[in-house]
Structure 1
Amino acid sequence: MSARARAVTLRGRRRAEALMQDQCLIRRVTGETTDRETAKVVPVYADVYTGKCKLQSYEGYEQEKNTAETALTVQRMSVHLPVGAYRINVGDVVEVTDSRMDPLLVGRKFRITQEAPFKTFATAYRVFVDYIAD
Protein backbone atom coordinates (compact mmCIF):
# COMPACT_ATOMS: atom_id res chain seq x y z
CA MET A 1 0.00 0.00 0.00
CA SER A 2 1.36 3.39 -0.88
CA ALA A 3 1.95 5.94 1.85
CA ARG A 4 -0.64 8.21 0.23
CA ALA A 5 -3.33 5.51 0.19
CA ARG A 6 -2.62 4.70 3.83
CA ALA A 7 -2.78 8.37 4.85
CA VAL A 8 -6.06 8.94 3.00
CA THR A 9 -7.61 5.80 4.53
CA LEU A 10 -6.57 6.77 8.05
CA ARG A 11 -7.94 10.30 7.56
CA GLY A 12 -11.22 8.76 6.34
CA ARG A 13 -11.37 6.58 9.46
CA ARG A 14 -10.89 9.58 11.73
CA ARG A 15 -13.67 11.43 9.93
CA ALA A 16 -16.01 8.43 10.04
CA GLU A 17 -15.38 7.96 13.77
CA ALA A 18 -16.02 11.66 14.41
CA LEU A 19 -19.59 11.05 13.20
CA MET A 20 -20.06 8.12 15.60
CA GLN A 21 -21.82 10.16 18.28
CA ASP A 22 -23.71 7.26 19.90
CA GLN A 23 -22.46 4.72 22.43
CA CYS A 24 -23.46 1.09 22.30
CA LEU A 25 -23.03 -2.26 23.98
CA ILE A 26 -22.81 -5.32 21.75
CA ARG A 27 -23.54 -8.73 23.23
CA ARG A 28 -23.18 -12.25 21.88
CA VAL A 29 -25.15 -15.36 22.84
CA THR A 30 -22.69 -17.77 24.47
CA GLY A 31 -25.08 -20.41 25.74
CA GLU A 32 -28.39 -21.07 27.42
CA THR A 33 -29.69 -21.45 30.93
CA THR A 34 -33.04 -22.20 32.51
CA ASP A 35 -34.79 -19.45 34.44
CA ARG A 36 -35.57 -20.94 37.88
CA GLU A 37 -38.79 -18.95 38.29
CA THR A 38 -40.34 -19.43 34.84
CA ALA A 39 -38.61 -22.68 33.77
CA LYS A 40 -38.00 -21.07 30.38
CA VAL A 41 -34.74 -21.55 28.54
CA VAL A 42 -33.09 -18.14 28.12
CA PRO A 43 -29.91 -17.13 26.33
CA VAL A 44 -26.71 -16.26 28.18
CA TYR A 45 -24.86 -13.24 26.76
CA ALA A 46 -21.26 -12.02 26.85
CA ASP A 47 -20.32 -8.40 26.21
CA VAL A 48 -18.08 -8.23 23.13
CA TYR A 49 -17.89 -4.48 22.45
CA THR A 50 -18.59 -1.26 24.31
CA GLY A 51 -17.91 1.98 22.55
CA LYS A 52 -18.83 4.44 19.84
CA CYS A 53 -21.18 3.74 16.97
CA LYS A 54 -23.57 5.42 14.57
CA LEU A 55 -27.02 4.20 13.61
CA GLN A 56 -28.07 4.83 10.04
CA SER A 57 -31.16 4.00 8.03
CA TYR A 58 -30.24 2.42 4.74
CA GLU A 59 -31.96 4.41 2.03
CA GLY A 60 -35.73 4.57 1.96
CA TYR A 61 -36.54 0.95 1.29
CA GLU A 62 -39.43 -0.51 3.24
CA GLN A 63 -40.81 -3.98 2.81
CA GLU A 64 -44.19 -5.03 4.09
CA LYS A 65 -44.55 -8.54 5.48
CA ASN A 66 -47.70 -10.24 6.68
CA THR A 67 -47.31 -12.58 9.62
CA ALA A 68 -50.01 -13.98 11.86
CA GLU A 69 -52.53 -11.68 10.18
CA THR A 70 -50.46 -8.62 11.17
CA ALA A 71 -48.80 -6.33 8.64
CA LEU A 72 -45.24 -5.38 9.58
CA THR A 73 -43.04 -2.82 7.88
CA VAL A 74 -39.35 -3.65 7.91
CA GLN A 75 -36.81 -0.95 7.13
CA ARG A 76 -33.18 -1.86 6.60
CA MET A 77 -30.83 -0.18 9.07
CA SER A 78 -27.09 -0.28 9.59
CA VAL A 79 -24.75 0.34 12.47
CA HIS A 80 -21.36 1.89 11.83
CA LEU A 81 -18.44 0.88 14.05
CA PRO A 82 -14.74 1.74 14.09
CA VAL A 83 -12.59 -0.51 11.91
CA GLY A 84 -11.16 -3.28 14.08
CA ALA A 85 -13.54 -2.56 16.98
CA TYR A 86 -14.36 -6.24 17.40
CA ARG A 87 -14.95 -9.40 15.36
CA ILE A 88 -18.55 -9.12 14.19
CA ASN A 89 -20.86 -12.16 14.26
CA VAL A 90 -24.30 -12.48 12.73
CA GLY A 91 -26.80 -12.53 15.59
CA ASP A 92 -24.89 -10.20 17.92
CA VAL A 93 -27.22 -7.74 19.65
CA VAL A 94 -26.47 -4.00 19.60
CA GLU A 95 -28.03 -1.83 22.30
CA VAL A 96 -27.70 1.94 22.11
CA THR A 97 -26.60 3.10 25.57
CA ASP A 98 -26.16 6.83 24.90
CA SER A 99 -26.99 9.22 22.08
CA ARG A 100 -26.01 12.88 22.04
CA MET A 101 -28.20 13.66 19.05
CA ASP A 102 -31.34 11.56 19.63
CA PRO A 103 -32.28 10.48 23.18
CA LEU A 104 -35.04 8.25 21.79
CA LEU A 105 -32.37 5.87 20.44
CA VAL A 106 -31.20 4.99 23.95
CA GLY A 107 -32.33 1.49 24.91
CA ARG A 108 -33.15 0.41 21.35
CA LYS A 109 -31.82 -2.97 20.33
CA PHE A 110 -30.81 -4.30 16.94
CA ARG A 111 -29.66 -7.72 15.72
CA ILE A 112 -26.66 -7.81 13.39
CA THR A 113 -27.61 -9.59 10.15
CA GLN A 114 -24.28 -9.67 8.31
CA GLU A 115 -20.58 -9.88 8.95
CA ALA A 116 -18.57 -6.71 8.41
CA PRO A 117 -18.06 -5.93 4.74
CA PHE A 118 -14.32 -6.41 4.94
CA LYS A 119 -12.27 -4.32 2.56
CA THR A 120 -8.74 -3.01 2.50
CA PHE A 121 -9.57 0.70 2.53
CA ALA A 122 -12.57 0.60 4.91
CA THR A 123 -13.20 3.77 6.87
CA ALA A 124 -15.77 2.06 9.14
CA TYR A 125 -17.48 -1.29 9.58
CA ARG A 126 -21.01 -0.74 8.26
CA VAL A 127 -23.23 -3.72 8.97
CA PHE A 128 -26.92 -4.32 8.44
CA VAL A 129 -29.11 -4.72 11.51
CA ASP A 130 -32.76 -5.43 12.21
CA TYR A 131 -34.69 -3.67 14.97
CA ILE A 132 -35.69 -5.88 17.90
CA ALA A 133 -39.10 -4.83 19.19
CA ASP A 134 -39.60 -5.18 22.94
Structure 2
Amino acid sequence: MSALRAGRALAERMMVDHVIIRRITGERTDRITGKVTPLTEAVYAGKCKLQSYEGYEQSRDTAGVQYTVQRLSIHLPVGAYRINVGDVAEIVTSTIDPLLVGRQLRLVSEAPFKTFATAYRVFVDYIAD
Protein backbone atom coordinates (compact mmCIF):
# COMPACT_ATOMS: atom_id res chain seq x y z
CA MET A 1 0.00 0.00 0.00
CA SER A 2 2.89 2.40 0.53
CA ALA A 3 3.72 2.09 -3.20
CA LEU A 4 0.13 3.07 -4.04
CA ARG A 5 0.27 6.08 -1.70
CA ALA A 6 3.57 7.14 -3.27
CA GLY A 7 2.09 6.76 -6.76
CA ARG A 8 -0.93 8.87 -5.86
CA ALA A 9 1.27 11.54 -4.28
CA LEU A 10 3.42 11.67 -7.42
CA ALA A 11 0.34 11.85 -9.66
CA GLU A 12 -1.06 14.73 -7.60
CA ARG A 13 2.25 16.62 -7.75
CA MET A 14 1.83 16.59 -11.53
CA MET A 15 -1.64 18.17 -11.22
CA VAL A 16 -0.48 21.78 -11.45
CA ASP A 17 -3.68 23.26 -12.90
CA HIS A 18 -6.82 24.13 -10.98
CA VAL A 19 -10.34 23.44 -12.17
CA ILE A 20 -13.94 24.05 -11.21
CA ILE A 21 -16.31 21.29 -12.28
CA ARG A 22 -19.98 22.14 -12.49
CA ARG A 23 -23.04 19.94 -12.85
CA ILE A 24 -26.15 21.10 -14.70
CA THR A 25 -29.06 21.02 -12.25
CA GLY A 26 -31.78 22.66 -14.35
CA GLU A 27 -32.37 25.57 -16.67
CA ARG A 28 -33.77 29.08 -16.67
CA THR A 29 -35.57 30.74 -19.59
CA ASP A 30 -35.42 34.51 -20.04
CA ARG A 31 -39.04 35.67 -20.43
CA ILE A 32 -38.12 38.46 -22.82
CA THR A 33 -35.52 36.86 -25.11
CA GLY A 34 -36.49 33.21 -24.71
CA LYS A 35 -32.82 32.34 -24.17
CA VAL A 36 -32.36 29.17 -22.13
CA THR A 37 -29.49 29.25 -19.63
CA PRO A 38 -28.39 26.17 -17.69
CA LEU A 39 -28.38 26.30 -13.89
CA THR A 40 -25.28 24.71 -12.41
CA GLU A 41 -23.70 23.87 -9.10
CA ALA A 42 -20.00 23.39 -8.39
CA VAL A 43 -19.23 19.76 -7.53
CA TYR A 44 -15.43 19.94 -7.44
CA ALA A 45 -12.85 22.69 -7.18
CA GLY A 46 -9.22 21.71 -6.98
CA LYS A 47 -6.16 20.38 -8.73
CA CYS A 48 -6.04 18.64 -12.08
CA LYS A 49 -3.85 17.89 -15.06
CA LEU A 50 -5.00 18.18 -18.65
CA GLN A 51 -3.57 15.56 -21.00
CA SER A 52 -3.91 15.54 -24.77
CA TYR A 53 -3.15 12.98 -27.42
CA GLU A 54 -2.68 13.17 -31.17
CA GLY A 55 -5.32 14.86 -33.27
CA TYR A 56 -7.22 12.80 -35.79
CA GLU A 57 -9.61 13.57 -38.60
CA GLN A 58 -13.16 12.53 -38.12
CA SER A 59 -15.84 12.66 -40.81
CA ARG A 60 -19.09 14.38 -40.01
CA ASP A 61 -22.08 15.09 -42.24
CA THR A 62 -21.98 18.76 -41.27
CA ALA A 63 -21.88 20.51 -44.63
CA GLY A 64 -19.51 17.81 -45.86
CA VAL A 65 -16.57 19.21 -43.89
CA GLN A 66 -13.90 17.19 -42.11
CA TYR A 67 -12.40 18.68 -38.99
CA THR A 68 -9.82 17.74 -36.39
CA VAL A 69 -10.96 16.43 -33.03
CA GLN A 70 -8.48 16.63 -30.16
CA ARG A 71 -8.36 13.66 -27.82
CA LEU A 72 -8.18 14.93 -24.22
CA SER A 73 -8.40 13.62 -20.71
CA ILE A 74 -8.42 15.35 -17.38
CA HIS A 75 -6.62 13.77 -14.43
CA LEU A 76 -8.12 14.28 -10.99
CA PRO A 77 -7.12 13.04 -7.53
CA VAL A 78 -8.57 9.66 -6.58
CA GLY A 79 -11.78 10.25 -4.63
CA ALA A 80 -12.02 13.92 -5.66
CA TYR A 81 -15.73 13.70 -6.40
CA ARG A 82 -18.38 11.43 -7.94
CA ILE A 83 -18.06 12.00 -11.69
CA ASN A 84 -21.14 12.31 -13.91
CA VAL A 85 -21.06 12.26 -17.70
CA GLY A 86 -21.99 15.77 -18.85
CA ASP A 87 -20.29 17.66 -16.02
CA VAL A 88 -18.38 20.70 -17.30
CA ALA A 89 -14.83 21.47 -16.19
CA GLU A 90 -13.31 24.93 -16.51
CA ILE A 91 -9.59 25.49 -16.04
CA VAL A 92 -9.28 28.46 -13.65
CA THR A 93 -5.49 28.60 -13.19
CA SER A 94 -2.53 27.05 -14.94
CA THR A 95 1.01 27.56 -13.69
CA ILE A 96 2.63 26.31 -16.89
CA ASP A 97 0.31 27.33 -19.76
CA PRO A 98 -1.77 30.48 -19.29
CA LEU A 99 -3.69 29.74 -22.51
CA LEU A 100 -5.47 26.87 -20.73
CA VAL A 101 -7.24 29.29 -18.38
CA GLY A 102 -10.92 29.60 -19.26
CA ARG A 103 -10.99 26.43 -21.39
CA GLN A 104 -14.12 24.39 -20.85
CA LEU A 105 -14.33 20.64 -21.19
CA ARG A 106 -17.34 18.31 -21.06
CA LEU A 107 -16.72 15.03 -19.21
CA VAL A 108 -17.74 12.20 -21.52
CA SER A 109 -16.93 9.18 -19.37
CA GLU A 110 -16.89 8.18 -15.77
CA ALA A 111 -13.45 7.61 -14.35
CA PRO A 112 -12.17 4.14 -15.15
CA PHE A 113 -12.26 3.09 -11.51
CA LYS A 114 -9.76 0.49 -10.43
CA THR A 115 -8.37 -0.70 -7.13
CA PHE A 116 -4.81 0.57 -7.60
CA ALA A 117 -5.57 3.86 -9.41
CA THR A 118 -3.10 6.69 -8.89
CA ALA A 119 -5.50 9.21 -10.50
CA TYR A 120 -8.92 9.40 -12.12
CA ARG A 121 -8.27 9.79 -15.85
CA VAL A 122 -11.48 11.02 -17.45
CA PHE A 123 -12.07 11.54 -21.17
CA VAL A 124 -13.36 14.99 -22.08
CA ASP A 125 -14.52 16.94 -25.13
CA TYR A 126 -13.25 20.48 -25.63
CA ILE A 127 -16.10 23.00 -25.71
CA ALA A 128 -15.18 25.55 -28.39
CA ASP A 129 -15.78 29.23 -27.67
**TM over 0.5: same fold?**
yes
Instruction: Indicate yes or no: 2:49 matched with 1:54.
Output: yes
Superposed displacement of residue 79, structure 1? 0.1
Out of 3, 11, 15, the residue aligned to residue 6 of structure 2 is 11
Superposed displacement of residue 33, structure 1? 1.2
8 Å contact kept, 2:19–2:45? yes
Q: How does 1:1-134 map to 2 (within 5 A)?
A: 6-58=1-53, 60-66=54-60, 67-134=62-129
Q: 1:88-132 CA distances to partner (integer Å, 9 max, x unpaired)?
A: 000000100000000000000000000010000000000000000
Percent identical among aligned pairs is 62
3-state secondary structure, aligned to 1:43:
strand
3-state secondary structure, aligned to 2:3:
helix
> Normalising to structure 2: TM-score of the pair?
0.94
Q: 1:2-61 CA distances to partner (integer Å, 9 max, x unpaired)?
A: xxxx11111000000000000000000001111244212221111000000000013x25
Distance 1:38 1:70 in 2: 32
> Normalising to structure 1: TM-score of the pair?
0.90
Distance 1:81 1:107 in 2: 18
8 Å contact kept, 2:26–2:40? yes
3-state secondary structure, aligned to 1:90:
coil
Q: Gaps spanning 5+ residues in structure 1: where?
A: 1-5
8 Å contact kept, 1:63–1:75? no
Distance 1:109 1:37 in 2: 28
Moved more, 67-76 or 102-111: 67-76
3-state secondary structure, aligned to 1:13:
helix
Aligned length: 128
Q: Which stretches of structure 1, 4 residues or more, deviate above 6 A after TM superposition? A: none
